[in-house]
Amino acid sequence: MKKCVIIMNPESGKGKNKDKIKNLYDILRKYDYDGQIRYTKRKGDAHDIIKDMENDIDLVISAGGDGTLNEVVSGNLERTKKIPLANLPLGTTNDVGNMYGLTGDIIQKLEQLLKGTMKKIDVIKINEVPFVYVACIGDFIDMAYKTPRDLKKRYGKVAYIMYGLKQLRKKIHKYNIRYTIDGVTRDGEYSFIFITNSSRIAGMDDIFYDVKLNDNKFEVALAKANNKADMLKLLVLINTIDLKDIPEITYYQTDNLKVEFLNNPKSSWCIDGEELPITTDIFEFRVDKSTTMLMPRKNINKLFESEN
């Protein structure tokens, strides 16, 4: 039998899957996997578990939120021998899992994965720090990692709204940046910067209509908002029309980006829902293509370019 390790964050999903976890072993055996579950105990555990894992493992499944998946991917990229990965979403928002097309309870999602197919995916790096689907900076972005865990466990997605409402009195900051894409350098003042490899962000589907996970490119959106009214207007437009048609947003699709902050940023980057503290004014983005992911078949044609 093949060997599979599930790296599980027991804090994800408000604990609603506890009574079904024992059934995961039966599902794995059904698909010819000898499985084991390793639980995380602290932030960074998933990264360390896979980084130090033995070389005879055939599949590692990240069972948790988008932050857990980020740790698994990051730890795997530090290995000499990479292990094929899969994402079993158990978190609050599950942007990546929803984009992949995973639905139902934990058992149904695992079956969808194990019936799937292996695909090489693009992983983006910001100053060599990997992220799977989004790196962003701007006001209110910090609610992804500052919303208290007990609120998320108790209220789910509503917890982010509760935390966000407390921040509404804050003034919107702007960032003076110099950025270089495809050899062309420009200056600008923006309120929000999004670097993504996903069609879904913060629970909003189809923000980008042409995202491919194997095209060696990522999406760049630079947004201007002078006040909270502008920000709310942008949110409405993003859910109404193609983001590329919004005048307040500058959009690119590229495989290279360099961003230099000309003033001191007032906040940190948020990558895959977790904080990346700023220690420099210059950030470079590139694509890494060494990650293999077991994908459910539902959205394969939508998310991947033909390999022929």
Looking at the chain, the whole-number percentage of residues with pLDDT higher than 70 is 85
Give the lowest-confidence range in 121-125, 137-141, 275-279: 137-141
222: pLDDT strictly greater than 60: yes
pLDDT of residue 279: 82
Distance CA 91, CA 12 (A): 5
Domain(s) labelled CATH 2.60.200.40 in the chain stretch across 129-289
Which of residues 248 and 145 earns the better pLDDT score?
248
pTM of the model: 0.86
pLDDT band at 293 (very low <50, low <70, confident <90, very high): very high
* Average pLDDT over every residue of 80-109: 90
Q: Is there a contact between 265 and 278 (Cβ–Cβ < 8 Å)?
A: yes
pLDDT at position 11, please? 80
Place of tokens 């799937």: 116
Instruction: Please indicate whether residue 289 or residue 153 has the higher confidence score (pLDDT).
Output: 289
* pLDDT score, position 225: 87
- For 223, half-sphere exposure in the C-beta direction (CA atoms, 13 angstrom radius) is 28
Instruction: Copy the structure tokens of residue 42.
Output: 């602290």
Q: Where in the chain is the domain with CATH 3.40.50.10330?
A: 2-115
Mean pLDDT of 89-95: 80
Backbone φ and ψ of 242, nearest 5°: -60, 130
pLDDT value at position 161?
Answer: 47
In the prediction, which pLDDT does 257 show? Answer: 97
Write down the pLDDT at residue 45.
95
Which residue in 19, 32, 80, 77 sits closest to 58, CA to CA?
32
Give residue 162's pLDDT.
47
CA distances (Å), origin 300, targets 59, 95, 133, 172: 19, 16, 16, 39
What pLDDT is attached to residue 26?
Answer: 92
- Token pair belonging to 134: 């989004």
- Give which of 258, 255, 271 is closest to 215, Cα–Cα: 255
- The predicted pLDDT at position 213 comes to 93
Write down the architecture of domain 129-289 according to CATH. Answer: Sandwich (2.60)
User: Mean pLDDT throughout 216-239?
Assistant: 86
149/98: higher pLDDT: 98
Average pLDDT for residues 286-302, to the nearest whole number?
94
Phi, psi of 13 (to 5 degrees): 70, 25
Assign 3-class secondary structure to the chain: CEEEEEEECCCHHHHCCHHHHHHHHHHHHHCCEEEEEEECCCCCHHHHHHHCCCCCCCEEEEEECHHHHHHHHHHHHCCCCCCCEEEEECCCCCHHHHHHCCCCCHHHHHHHHHCCEEEEEEEEEECCEEECCEEEECCCCCHHHHCCHHHHHHHCCHHHHHHHHHCCCCCCCCEEEEEEECCEEEEEEECEEEEECCCCECCECCCCCCCCCCCCCEEEEEECCCCHHHHHHHHHHHCCCCHHHCCCEEEEEECEEEEEECCCCCCCEEECCEEECCCCCEEEEEEEEEEEEEECCCCHHHHCCCCC
> Would you call 9 exposed, middle or buried from its count of C-beta atoms within 10 A (0-12, 13-18, 19+)?
buried
Give the amino acid at 305. E
Question: pLDDT over 90 for what percent of the chain?
Answer: 57
Q: To the nearest whole number, what is the mean pLDDT of the chain? A: 86
Backbone angles phi, psi at 48, to 5 degrees: -70, -35
Distance from chain centroid for Cα 188: 26
Q: Is 264 exposed, middle or buried (0-12, 13-18, 19+ CB in 10 A)?
A: exposed
pLDDT of residue 167: 57
Q: How far apart are CA 281 and CA 301, in angstroms?
A: 39
pLDDT reported for residue 200: 74
Pick the CATH number of 2-115 from 3.40.50.10330, 3.30.70.20, 3.75.10.10, 3.40.1160.10: 3.40.50.10330
Encode pLDDT of 134-192 as tens digits. 998 987 665 555 545 554 455 444 444 445 555 555 667 889 999 999 999 999 999 99
